[in-house]
Amino acid sequence: MRKSSFAERVREVVRKIPKGKTLSYGEVAEAAEHPGAARAVGTIMKNNHDPLVPCHRVIRSDGSLGAYNRGTARKRALLKAEGAI
């Protein structure tokens, strides 16, 4: 059986974040079995274009939104529409 890559584990964790909820980059890294890899999670999310991976639900640990590959305004609008902010 093939072991999944860190990027695959990150995308799987993010797929499971329900509407109206968020996780920090660090929380995603920890759930993907790589604590301390929050920046790597950010890079993976920056390069995500799969609509089944709701990367807008990943935010900074201080509660600020962080970047989004479709624009911060769109990230804010999506999170607001889902009731996360």
Q: Where are the domains of the chain?
A: 6-81
Q: Which residues are catalytic?
A: 55
Average pLDDT for runs of 10 along the chain of length 85? 88 98 98 97 96 96 94 96 96
Yes or no: say if 41 and 25 are a contact pair by the CB < 8 Å rule: yes
Identity of residue 18: P
Query: What fold, for 6-81?
Result: Arc Repressor Mutant, subunit A (1.10.10)
H or E, element range at 11: helix 6-15
Task: At 58, give phi and psi (nearest 5°).
Answer: -105, 125
Tell me the three state secondary structure of residue 59: strand
Q: Is the pTM of this model over 0.75?
A: yes
Name the residue among 83, 11, 5 with its Cα closest to residue 53: 11
